[in-house]
């Protein structure tokens, strides 16, 4: 069939992969950075993503592909005017300025079981500061002039797909993270948007929202101006694209019963499910996936950035910090790090900070390093517990570690030890870009993404066993006590 281009537009950078559509063999790759952000205000100019995409494609050095797909950071608000112009910098998923709006929104949904339970039933999730609907509420409250000019409400992947094709479209996976699209019903819930502003009415809100494409439905073909900007010839097919977690699930061939733990700027734990979830505690976001199933997910704001910061304090690179952490036994000598450096999403504590407890005479750098990895992993394992409590099958399949943190020996080992599970680390390093390639190839061939992922073997990789004796219950109890 030729070549496919997969795009991963994350918080920190754009990464691209070009793969053979038949075999999945990696032909080329490229990367370019995004401007740094610092919560609580975390914003980026979408044009910076477009420039980074051009840089990443140029670095890959491939000029002819047959299909393209975009996987990108979820939840961000790209506000466009009537002429398609960007009205203001995009508020990103990790922007916590909208925390007050999240709390207000939860309180506005009435009925006998109002609040969190009503939101979970309506759209599968309880709004927290990350969700797009909270950013719309913030815009309405803080920047009414921009809100008045709002003609199109897009997510980061939607905007990049629009730049590629000219179409205003999204997919069910990314739409499910907005707080106003229902995975269970497969439709926009304009009644939720009318809580933000009742003025436009249902029709007015629908006119602002992108059309939700079905699994396998293409967004269009590459328009000439975009091709010239990116150095791509012809009119390759552009697939629907999706959110980054949904793309990563495609990239490792996730099936019902499997669990994925993703370590990047954020941490996520998610599983593929045949049925939707509605968790009134707010811990589990009831997302859809990119194939027609569902992707219940727990997200933490703090993951590899925590160990990056600890390494910086010690003057150590990632490999050196991992060696230091692994030089001391599990439990870190009683030291516990609660890693809420940027506030936290799960649990919902947007104003929290990190906490270090258990310091004693004899506490070493190695204890502190180990505590950093264990704190991040303990938070994610609480997410795994929440998935199980929501009725999701999390034990009959693989436990798969993805994201940039999957390259860390320390994260691999600590996750295996504290979960008590063998951990599979797929060989494909850039799981979001690889998953976008899978979607592009499946759309091109008119087949299911699982068929492509199986044929390519992207989910295969080494397994790390929990081979260290550890009092896991005591370690997790100590973390829970320190978290409070």
- How many angstroms separate the CA atoms of 150 and 9, rounded? 24
Q: Which residues pair with 357 in a beta bridge?
A: 336
d(CA 319, CA 6): 28
Terminal-residue alpha carbon distance, the chain: 55
314 CB burial (10 A radius; 0-12, 13-18, 19+): middle
Residue with tokens 């205000």: 41
Instruction: Output the six-digit token pair for 465.
Output: 């066993």
Angle of helix 46-60 relative to helix 156-165, nearest 10 degrees, comes to: 60
The separation between CA 86 and the C-alpha centre of its own chain, rounded to angstroms, equals 23
Tell me if residue 159 falls in helix, strand or coil.
Answer: helix
Pairwise CA distance, residues 181 & 210, whole Å: 11
Closest listed residue to residue 133, CA positions, set 170, 169, 102, 97: 102
Tell me which residues are annotated as active site: 244
> Taking the CB of residue 320, how many other CB atoms lie within 10 A of it?
13
Which region, left, alpha or beta, applies to residue 379 given φ > 0 means left and ψ of -120 to 50 means alpha?
Answer: alpha
């Amino acid at each position: 069939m030729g070549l496919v281009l997969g795009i991963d537009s994350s918080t920190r950078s754009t990464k691209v992969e070009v793969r053979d559509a038949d075999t999945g063999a990696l032909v080329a790759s490229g990367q370019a950075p995004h401007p740094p952000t610092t919560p609580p205000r975390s914003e980026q100019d979408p044009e910076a993503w477009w420039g980074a995409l051009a840089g990443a494609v140029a670095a890959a050095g491939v000029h002819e592909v047959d299909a393209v797909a975009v996987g990108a950071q979820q939840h961000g608000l790209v506000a466009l005017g009537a002429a398609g112009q960007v009205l203001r910098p995009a508020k990103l998923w990790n922007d916590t300025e909208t925390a007050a709006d999240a709390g207000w929104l939860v309180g506005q949904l009435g009925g006998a079981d109002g609040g969190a339970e009503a939101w979970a039933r309506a759209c599968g999730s309880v709004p927290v500061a990350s969700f797009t609907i909270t950013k719309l509420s913030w815009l309405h409250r803080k920047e009414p002039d921009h809100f008045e000019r709002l003609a199109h409400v897009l997510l980061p992947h939607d905007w990049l797909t629009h730049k590629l094709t000219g179409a205003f479209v999204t997919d069910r996976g990314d739409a499910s993270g907005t707080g106003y699209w229902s995975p269970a019903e497969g439709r926009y819930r304009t009644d939720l948007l009318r809580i933000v502003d009742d003025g436009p009415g249902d029709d007015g809100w629908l006119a602002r929202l992108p059309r939700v494409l079905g699994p396998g439905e293409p967004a269009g073909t590459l328009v000439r101006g975009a091709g010239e900007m990116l150095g791509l010839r012809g009119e390759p097919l552009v697939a629907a694209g999706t959110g980054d977690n949904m793309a990563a699930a495609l990239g490792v061939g996730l099936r019902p019963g499997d669990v994925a733990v993703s370590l990047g700027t954020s941490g996520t734990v998610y599983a593929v499910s045949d049925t939707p979830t509605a968790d009134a505690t707010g811990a589990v976001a009831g997302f859809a996936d990119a194939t027609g199933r569902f992707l219940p997910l727990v997200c933490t704001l703090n993951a590899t950035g925590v160990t990056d910061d600890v390494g910086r304090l010690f003057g150590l690179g990632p490999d050196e910090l991992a060696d230091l952490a692994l030089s001391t036994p599990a439990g870190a000598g009683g030291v516990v790090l609660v890693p809420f450096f940027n506030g936290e999403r799960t649990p919902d504590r947007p104003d929290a900070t990190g906490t270090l407890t258990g310091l004693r005479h004899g506490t070493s750098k190695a204890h502190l390093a180990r505590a950093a990895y264990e704190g991040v992993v303990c938070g994610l394992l609480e997410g795994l517990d929440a998935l199980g409590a929501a009725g999701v099958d999390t034990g009959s399949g693989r436990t798969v570690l993805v994201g940039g943190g999957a390259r860390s020996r320390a994260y691999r080992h600590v996750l295996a030890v504290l979960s008590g599970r063998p951990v599979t680390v797929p060989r494909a390093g850039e799981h979001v870009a690889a998953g976008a390639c899978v979607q592009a190839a499946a759309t091109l061939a008119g087949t299911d993404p699982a068929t492509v992922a199986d044929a390519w073997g992207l989910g295969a990789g080494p397994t790390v066993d929990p081979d260290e004796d550890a009092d896991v219950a005591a370690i997790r109890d100590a973390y829970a006590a320190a978290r409070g």
